[in-house]
Amino acid sequence: MNLNIYLKKKRKLVDSFLKKYIASKKRDKDCPKHLADAMGYALMAGGKRVRPILCIAAYEAAGGNTESIMPAAASLELIHTYSLIHDDLPAMDDDDFRRNQPTTHKVYGEATAILAGDGLLTDAFSMTANASASPKTLISVINELSRGSGPEGMVGGQTVDIILEGKKATKKELSYIHTHKTGALIRASVRIGAIMAKASPAKLNALTKYGEKIGLAFQVIDDILDVTGTTEELGKSAGADTARGKNTYPSIFGLNASQKIAEELIIDSLTALSKFNKESEPLEEIAKYILSRRN
């Protein structure tokens, strides 16, 4: 398969859904225009839409074949975008640029940026709740969304990341940070696709393992790119993790060992898909892409 064509097609579907969502916010008289504009600015600033596409690919691999996955898939991008808005704030990573354009708080101010993130996070659950699926399925999906993004997932990982800034983390602490601040929402993305498709327990377990492995690999590669990439390639300040004293795989293991760890994680993710046939090909290609990405 041609992964570029697949990604472009799915990204177009996700972007179309998100544009309609933002348009509805701007039409809603109960949503302040300034807030809707800030939410739209962050959400439509570009991005690879990795999490929604992983959700769609897992849904298809587990036998799903309709567009009923779109609300659940798109909700993941709302949560991811909210996390980026808050990460960029002066109280967190204090970044001026994201995706080669000024960060939300630089354009709309800190207070509105915080509220735009709050709005996107809240709407993610409303969006998912209105997806076309049984109440039982939607409750399971919302639970995954909450756990992947909340204190047991992304928020927990971010907390430990901040607490240990400027201190040397143990390998166990580093693993916790990475599997939670990035890996948890990626794992949830894959599991949500499988749950929406009513995957068998065996397939759900396999896809869960796949999601866990690529979730950690994604952040390990991010750490490597912070050292080896340029600001232009990354769309944000290169070397920022080192400057802030963050714990990363290269800082603990070195660049070469970190690359090997990422490669092993991707091999494990592909092994997890051995229960599938051709329908898992997009997931396999996305795993390989994660290993080779430059931004």
Average pLDDT on 38-53 reads 96
Domain that holds residue 155: 3-292
Average pLDDT on 16-38 reads 97
CATH code where residue 71 lies? 1.10.600.10
Number of domains in the chain: 1
Q: Do 166 and 242 meet the contact criterion of CB atoms below 8 Å apart?
A: no
Task: Give per-residue pLDDT as tens, 136-155.
Answer: 999 999 999 999 999 999 99
Average pLDDT on 83-91 reads 96
Task: Give per-residue pLDDT as tens, 110-133.
Answer: 999 999 999 999 999 999 999 999
What residues have CB less than 8 Å from 109, skipping those under 6 apart?
none
In this prediction, residue 100 carries a pLDDT of 85
Tokens representing 202? 């065996």
In this prediction, residue 242 carries a pLDDT of 79
CA dist 282 and 286 (Å) reads: 6
Instruction: Please determine, for residue 234, whether its predicted confidence score (pLDDT) is greater than 80.
Output: no
Average pLDDT on 59-74 reads 94
For all residues of the chain together, what is the average pLDDT?
95
Q: Which of 215, 217, 203 is nearest to 54 (CA)?
A: 215
Measured from the Cβ of residue 29, the count of other Cβ atoms closer than 10 Å reads 6
Average pLDDT on 91-96 reads 91
Instruction: Please determine, for residue 235, whether its predicted confidence score (pLDDT) is greater than 80.
Output: no
CA dist 155 and 158 (Å) reads: 5
Share above pLDDT 90 across residues of the chain, in percent, rounded to a whole number: 87
Q: Given pLDDT bands bounded at 50, 70 and 90, which one contains residue 65?
A: confident
Tokens representing 143? 């639970």
Which range (25-34, 39-48, 62-71, 223-232) has the least confidence? 223-232
Share above pLDDT 70 across residues of the chain, in percent, rounded to a whole number: 99
